[in-house]
Amino acid sequence: MRAAVLTWALVGLFFVEEASSECPAIHRRAQDTNCNYYCRNQADNGWEEGFLLNGETCNYAAENDGVCSEGICYKATVPSPTEPSHPVDHSEEPSDEDPMAPQPPKKKNKKSSKNQET
């Protein structure tokens, strides 16, 4: 029985130590360029890796062009520059004519100078 209690105490102590040695998830600081950072482990004075919160900006290929998700910097998606900025209303009824078929030129009525009085 003592062995079981001692085992559970050691396991519990291990989990408490592990939990206290992890870096907290934080907002981006001025010096952060990626989604991870390092903090001191109080238990053995070593280093632990921590991560920025999801949604924080990061440097993917240029400054602030990425977004953090689960500790990884992904390229931020931006709207396409070819999308129209204002909606266009095409309320006219489409014609039955083939738009690719050439149309014959319209004839203009010419006035004859012989028929005009001076």
71 found inside a domain: yes
For residue 16, the model assigns a pLDDT of 39
What's the pLDDT tens digit per position in 12-61? Answer: 544 434 445 589 999 999 999 999 999 999 888 899 999 999 999 999 99
97 found inside a domain: no
Give the pTM. 0.47
Q: Which residue has the higher pLDDT, 60 or 94?
A: 60
105 found inside a domain: no
CA-closest candidate to residue 23, choices 50, 46, 62: 50
91 found inside a domain: no
30 found inside a domain: yes
43 found inside a domain: yes
What's the pLDDT tens digit per position in 95-115? Answer: 666 666 666 777 777 666 665
27 found inside a domain: yes
Domain that holds residue 62: 20-75
24 found inside a domain: yes
- Domain total in the chain: 1
